[in-house]
Every structure is written in C-alpha cells, then in structure tokens.
Chains A and B, each alone.
Chain A
Amino acid sequence: MSAQEYGKIIARNLRRIASDAGKSQADIARDLKINKATVSSWMNGTRIPRMEKIDMLASYFNVTRAEIMEEHSSRKRTYYLDPETAQAAQDLFDNRNLHALLDAARGNSPENIRLATDLLTKLKGTNPDG
C-alpha cells in the first residue's frame, strides 16, 4: 500500500470518528493544541500523523489506534445506490476544472450524472464568475 493510500485511509477514519464525536477540525486543533493546517492535512490525507499524534487522537476520541489506522471497509458509508452512478459523481468531483458536488437522488442513473457534468462544463465556460 502506498503512503498516499494509507494517508487516505487514516483521513477517512479521522473524518468519520470526528463526525461521530461532533468535532470540527477547529475543535481538534484547539483542544489538542495542534496547528489547524496540520489537522486539515491529516483529514484530507495529504499528510500522515506520527504515531505519538495518533495516540493523542485515539485518547482524545476514546477510540483504539486500529480505529484510526486500519481500513474499516464494512463501515464505509455510501449514498449512491448504483456503483456506476457513484463513479460518475466521483469523476465529476475529481474533474480538476469542475470539482463539483451534486444534490442528486440516491437512485439516480449514471447517465444523468454525466449529463450534469456536460452541462456544468458548458455553464462554467459561459459564466463570468468562472
């Protein structure tokens, strides 16, 4: 597993644990006296916390190290019912020119998400706010 993939697993776990505990990134930074940018980098997976920080986070959230460090695929949350629709929505989000999120029905078709992607591409080219 690459460091990038490992960082994403830790980030996903931290976001879920923080969400369950009702803690924002600002709360964590303030309570643990850690720079906000550092917390943000852990939560978006661009940096991996050192073991002492993982222990600090585990203690803060009252969870085990494993809860933070290991992949919990069974606990992965899903919204879109069709994996192809989920992939179309992910492609739209990963599109560097658009980076868009939708409020779309769970059972929507991948075609509708792709239509939305095409439309947003056209709209982005015409709107003055870019």
Chain B
Amino acid sequence: MVKWHNKIYTYYVSLPEGVNEAVMPCLDGYTIYIDDTLDEEQQKKAFVHAMSHIANNDFDKDDVQDIEAEAHEVMNHAESKENSIR
C-alpha cells in the first residue's frame, strides 16, 4: 500500500542496457531511477512500473520471478485495455 507520508524520489540516470528502471525503499519512502536514454513515453511506462511495485506491496514479497511476472501481466493487461479504447 502506498502510504501518503511516503516520499517518492525520482532520478534520471544512465542504466545498463535493457534496464529501464530500478525502484528501492529509502529512509522515508522510495527511490526510483529511470534510464535517461528512454523517450518520454517509455520513461512514463517505467515510472508506472515502479509505482505498481510500490502499490502492490511487492517489497513485502520474496520471489522476484513471481513479482515481475505479475507486474508485467498487469502492465500488459493495462496496455491492451488502453489500446482497445483508442
């Protein structure tokens, strides 16, 4: 659950190839690093992906394969829904 007193710090940095974003807990919230070579649309998607991990309490879970499978399923579902509306 995103708590309203949690702060979200976002930084744009050059990440390794094939890594769009990283998110991690910090002292008073979460830090998100987004690859600065992505275009604006891709950076938005990367940010949404990071926020979905926070909102989904993924930091309380234990299996990264399961966490990422679910996060990407949700993102793909949201994208296909958005495309069907357009």
- Contact surface of A with B, Cβ cutoff 8 Å: 8, 11-12, 15-16, 19, 25-26, 40, 43-45, 76-80, 86, 89-90, 92-93, 98-109, 112-113, 115-116, 119-120, 123-124, 127, 129-130
Complex CA–CA separation, A77 to B62 (angstroms): 13
- Cα distance, A98 to B33, chains bound together (Å): 13
Question: Any chain A CB within 8 A of the CB of B24?
Answer: yes
Chain A's nearest CB lies how many Å from the CB of B74?
9
Q: In the complex, which residues of chain B have a beta carbon less than 8 angstroms from the beta carbon of A44?
A: 60-62
Determine how close the nearest CB of chain B comes to the CB of A86; give it in whole angstroms: 5
**Can you give 13 contacting A-B residue pairs, CB < 8 Å?**
A8-B62, A15-B66, A40-B60, A77-B66, A101-B59, A103-B50, A107-B18, A112-B17, A120-B22, A123-B11, A127-B26, A127-B31, A129-B7
Instruction: Output the nearest chain A residue to B46 by Cβ-Cβ distance.
Output: A103
Chain A residues closer than 8 Å to B46, beta-carbon distance: 103
- Residues of B near A25 (CB, < 8 A) are 57
User: With A43-B60, A44-B60 as given contacts, are A127 and B19 in contact (CB-CB < 8 Å)?
Assistant: no
Give every chain B residue within 8 A of A127 (Cβ-Cβ).
Answer: 9, 11, 26, 31
Contact of A108 with B18 at beta-carbon distance under 8 Å, contacts A15-B66, A19-B70 already known: yes
**B7, B11, B69 interface centre (most CB from chain A within 10 Å):** B69
Contact A101 B24, CB 8 Å, known A45-B62, A76-B65, A112-B19: yes
Which of B16, B26, B60, B72 has the most chain A CB atoms closer than 10 A to its own CB?
A: B16
Interface centre among A16, A77, A107, A124 (most CB of B within 10 A): A77
